[in-house]
Amino acid sequence: MTQEELFKVLVAHCKEYGFIFPSSEIYDGLAAVYDYGQMGVQLKNNIKDYWWEAMTRLNENIVGIDSCVFMHPKTWVASGHVAAFNDPLIDNKDSKKRYRADVLIEDYLAKIEEKIDKEVAKGRKRFGDAFDEAQFRATNPNVLREKAKYDEVHGRYLKAEEANDLGEYKQIILDCGIVCPISGTANWTDVRQFNLMFSTSLSNTGATDDKIYLRPETAQGIFVEYLNVQKTGRMKIPFGIAQIGKAFRNEIVARQFIFRMREFEQMEMEFFCKPGTEMEWFAKWKENRMKWHVNLGMGEENYRFHDHEKLAHYANAATDIEFNFPFGFKELEGIHSRTDFDLGNHQKLSGKKIQYFDPETGESYVPYCVETSIGVDRMTLAVLSHAYTVEKLENGEERVVMKIPAPLAPVKVAVLPLVKKDGLPEIAQKVVDELKYDFSYQYDEKDSIGKRYRRQDAIGTPFCVTIDHDTVSDGTVTVRDRDTMAQERVKIEDLRALIDKKVSLTNLLRNL
């Protein structure tokens, strides 16, 4: 199965087992908007808990807030979103489909890279152990031709991006012969800027100055509450403010399931520090955030940093943590050193003094800020795509198992009476009563035990507890491990400790 086919299977699995549904599906859905089902919401909440506790409990100097989606319209002028939160869009006149001009060019460049990689793979096959990749790349005529093409287009693209030259974007698309995948034609409109913020009106008068925006990031809620939190919390620099909440972007290219949505959730932390110390904090947060990811056990090799060469005007350092999604390494989290850009601009536009008075040195300054920002939905997709596993069993059958990190699993334990009689359901109920205060659980007495195990594997339940006839006489149950399928006999009173060891969020946090 190709990665693309596998991704389609994953999307279908997420729907079939109650993780994620296309929103308003009975009306044929809404592009790039998804609802979380009974399993998805628990997984998402567990991810949020892991992030929230790691930020606000493990760091004495980080506090959390919950600010509103609606904010004063000047917020978005100060943040630069009104002027510059744009994507360059282009329409194909024949198919009437809309694309991001930069994405069309980047996809074209990615295809050239793919061609080069294929040539290299062919070379490796041909020369075997004697293969010298560096020499091959430097001398093979096909590779050199493709590389020259790549460098030429890439150079033009970077210049166009730097100069915000929309005409040049279109010229590159035409020169490279990039066509619409639907119509197959190059009958393109001019490229124009499209602001990604959704707007609505605060009152029903329809006056244009009533226009307010749905926040495109949660960060600005933190910046406008900086003074309140610093004063009421008597926070001393350096300190951080964390927030989890919804954000909205009118994405032109909405694709790859929950990777890029129009309504999504962010977990953002703004860390305020003394000017001049920001690089030290930037390095610390890079390390801290990577540790948080790797601690989940989804394979260190599946993460990498991508440092930005071209920085946004407000940043003096930026990196992405990329994850190995089924469609390749892509941004999962952004870490930016945002200088005093946001607080400084809010100070200017609001006319309120937003400064920190350092009691030790007697100076006042606008703090600098290092931001860590991760999408909850993108993190959910990382977990789901890594978890999806198809295994061949000894009896020739296949099982689909979601190897979700146990502390994040939606359901931690399934309680299964072997049969629906002989007092076994009654004992199972007692087991449920013993476990339900600590763990999310499912009780299931329908179908064969094998089928019930498969159902739990498909939603990623780390433990299945089976109550059988021996339970009646000796008070022990069978505990089956999701990943190894190994079974052990355990006393009912020992169940809680055994399950907790593997699924506890506390233990996960302790490892950080």
For residue 90, report the phi and psi dihedrals to the nearest 5 degrees: -145, 140
Whose tokens are 């989804």? That residue is 298
Q: Distance between CA atoms of 462 and 177, rounded to whole angstroms?
A: 51
**Smallest separation, CB 411 to ligand GAP (Å):** 25
Cβ nearer to ligand GAP, comparing 254 with 400: 254
Q: Which residue is nearest to ligand GAP (CB)?
A: 375
Rounded (to 5) percent helix, strand, coil in the chain: 45, 25, 30
Cβ of residue 337: shortest distance to ligand GAP, in angstroms? 12
Alpha-helix runs per DSSP H in 296-364: 341-350
| Whole-number Cα distances in Å, 145 to 58, 126, 291, 368 | 53, 20, 41, 46
| Whole-angstrom distance, CA of residue 222 vs CA of residue 228 | 10
Question: Measured from the CB of residue 246, what is the shortest distance to ligand GAP in angstroms?
Answer: 11
CB closer to ligand GAP out of 77 and 202: 77
Closest by CA position to 296, among listed 329, 321, 260: 321
Residues that bind ligand GAP (CB under 6 A): 217, 219, 249, 251, 260-261, 264, 266, 268, 331-334, 371, 373-375, 377-378
End-to-end Cα, the chain, rounded Å: 36
Nearer to ligand GAP, 168 or 217 (CB): 217
Residues counted in the chain? 512
Residue 210 CA to residue 448 CA, distance in Å, equals: 61
Other CB atoms within 10 A of residue 421 CB:
9
Q: How far is CA 426 from the centre of its chain?
A: 42
The four Cα atoms 329, 335, 341, 342 give a dihedral, to 10 degrees, of 100
Contacts with 508 (C-beta within 8 Å, 6 or more apart), sequence order:
50, 295, 296, 405, 407
Closest CB 220 distance from ligand GAP, rounded Å: 8
Nearer to ligand GAP, 240 or 334 (CB): 334
Residue placing its CB nearer to ligand GAP in the complex, 278 or 333: 333
- Nearest approach in angstroms of CB 66 to ligand GAP is 16
Smallest distance from the beta carbon of 369 to ligand GAP, in angstroms? Answer: 11
Nearer to ligand GAP, 157 or 259 (CB): 259
**Minimum CB distance to ligand GAP, residue 24 (Å):** 18
Q: CB nearer to ligand GAP: give 87 or 146.
A: 87
Q: Cβ closer to ligand GAP: 123 or 375?
A: 375
Q: What residues does 188 pair with on adjacent strands?
A: 92
To ligand GAP, the closest distance from the beta carbon of 378 in angstroms equals 4
Nearer to ligand GAP, 282 or 441 (CB): 282
Residue indicated by tokens 């927030």: 243
To ligand GAP, the closest distance from the beta carbon of 277 in angstroms equals 21
